[in-house]
Amino acid sequence: MNPWLALTPGDDPAERIRQIGRAHERFLAGDRQRGRMRAVVADSWARSAAFVRADSTAPIDLADDDLEAYRSAHPLARVMPILRDLLGGLAEDGEHILAVCDAHGRLLWVEGHPATLRGAASMNFVPGARWDEAHAGTNAPGTALAVDHALQIFATEHFSHPVQRWTCAAAPVHDPGTGRLLGAIDVTGGDHLANPHSLALVRATALAAEAYLRGSEPVRQQPRVAALGRDEAVLALGSRRIRVKRRHSELLVLLTVHPEGRTGDQLGIDLYGDDINPVTIRAELSRLRRILGAELLDSRPYRLRAGVETDFGAVTRLLEAGRTADALAAYPGPLLPASDAPGIVRLRRLLDDRLRAALLESGDRRLLRTWLNSSWGSDDLDLWEAYAALTPADPLAARRVAALTREYACNVRATWP
């Protein structure tokens, strides 16, 4: 028995539709017994029920220019000629639809006979719509992404009632270099798709797409952000070096330390504190997307799709490994020193405090002196005191400690009410 096939030999499709339909009704009434349900479908219903209702419709996530810019930059755009060549015949026969989605279930291309496309549009099976399980319930492309396996979803196995007149087969597509999930390809049509051939076809097409990407993909370097000791970050994308303006530098740094993503409100608080202007945030993020490219910056929540290496992250890892000297050597200065954004100020203080604590703990006068000789460490009284204790014969250290002590005492008296 192949658990990814909708029907087994000898099954009566009409009877299975009735059986599954009754199981669906019982499920919605609170009966979670699986009976003859396929495990992959029962598990998907359980996931779907946590997010959507059985009468829900997939939302439109991207449209118009935003959709066109996003999908033209997507890696699967390069394999669309192959997909059309292998599956286009089905899409043109008037009974099937070819659909391609990204790793978040966002439909990028939906192609087929106009009459069939009109039927699909009635349930928002259109480019730009979100068909992951969390937005559309159990369906072939969304569930294939959830379980990372090719499968069929047959008629009443769909969680949402408006979709239960359709049957579909889908297979995930991966980046051959990294294994990262890129999206899924799908064939949608009538109940006759519930056969082994449709599943084998979409799986073979997915493998052909991956093979093409493997042969055509250039060697890619991980994006890197340098933001230490500079007011504007520099983003390295392969051989390109992009100087990012100050506000976009702040956004970029904040997104790198929150790989799980941030909402617009969260980013607004990070940038402006309580004085949030949602319109300004959206505008800045829109400009940042144009700088980075639609393939790198995602939304809802806002996050970077690719892992990004950062110079401040490298310093943190060296400190965590106990390599204080290497961390100091890799530290050209504070994080975006001119920024007063609350989120950046917190990150800057956290990194500086960790590095200073490591220097104090090291008791290495050469490392302390390196810090004290820098423009950002020259007024660091705590480290001057530590250095003076290690070098009692050095009159310069004693004089510097005395001068800073007097200066800080004067500042305190001047600000005392």
Give me the residues of the chain with pLDDT under 70, please: 91, 94, 216-221, 293-295, 306, 411-417
Q: In Å, how far are 206, 265, 351 from 72, measured between CA atoms?
A: 19, 29, 39
Long-range residue pairs from 230-239, CB within 8 A, at least 24 positions apart, any chain? 230/332, 230/333, 230/336, 230/337, 231/336, 231/337, 231/338, 231/339, 233/336, 235/291, 235/292, 237/293
| Cα(236)–Cα(234) distance, integer angstroms | 7
Q: Give me the pLDDT at residue 412, please.
A: 47
| Cα(48)–Cα(28) distance, integer angstroms | 11
Strands (E) located in 144-223: 151-154, 167-174, 181-189
| Cα(302)–Cα(157) distance, integer angstroms | 33
Q: 339: closest CA among 272, 250, 257?
A: 250
Q: Give me the pLDDT at residue 303, please.
A: 83
Which tens digits make up the pLDDT trace of 111-145? 998 888 999 999 999 999 999 999 999 999 999 99
Q: Give me the pLDDT at residue 262, please.
A: 85
- 146-184: string of b/e by CB count within 10 Å (b at 16+)? beeebbbbbbbbbbbbbbbebbbbbbbbbbbeeeebbbb
> pTM of the full predicted structure?
0.56
| Cα(242)–Cα(140) distance, integer angstroms | 40
